[in-house]
Structure 1
Amino acid sequence: MSEDMNHGRTFEILTAEPVRKRRKPKLRSDEDKALILEQALAPGANVSAVARAHGMDPSQLFGWRRAALASGSVQRLKATENDKAFTRFEAVRTDTVEIQVGDTTLRVSASIDPVLLSGIVRAVRQA
């Protein structure tokens, strides 16, 4: 046993970067929370974008929104006739690409050489 302890040993030292500190939560007034929730509950609102605009994590705003809707203290705003409805569509793969340059529409093959296409677009712009 004493012979084992006299042999040279190799040690590996691991280094690591410190973990980033969590953001301190901001204490917001009830008026601020109501304003942020109003924006998040508006028709067509992007909750994550609203949260980032106010410097908060989107998960926190989703939680506020869920709690407010569950309590019945707020309701979602209904879309008015002036609001544009979102239309879902599926992209279709075709071999033809349409490019609008001014009042001219170019229809070219999707496999066109990029150098040739840029020359065509330059020629159309100059015409």
Structure 2
Amino acid sequence: MSAHMPSDRSFQLLEVVPGRMESSPAVGRRRWPDETKARIVEETLAPNANVSAIARRYGMAPSQVFGWRRKAIANGQVGRREAPTGDGEAVGGVIEVVIAGATLRVGHEVGEAHLRRVLRAVRSA
């Protein structure tokens, strides 16, 4: 169904002004200072921390906090924290990784940096 056309076939001039849509928030993107981001990320790395609850407390989407946290961990700015055990020692266990037919068994005492070097060596071999 076509729109109604005026009988005099006149043109209408429309003025378009770029701006925000009516349904979008009146406030633009927030700019978080690096210190604030770091503090929020550190808070989420605590054992048993609820990232979604922390994000709600700061009035932001949990996906934003997860993104900040992922970048901070990837850049080596922060490290993951392990939940403390009752006796003060790390939880035991072995992780088994199979790469190109080679099996690598890693205990909890192996540091992340050392494990990365070993994985790189196995992959390049």
TM range (shorter): 0.3 to 0.5
Which has the higher Rg, Structure 1 or Structure 2? 1
Q: Normalising by structure 1, what TM-score?
A: 0.45
| Structure showing the higher helix proportion among its residues | 1
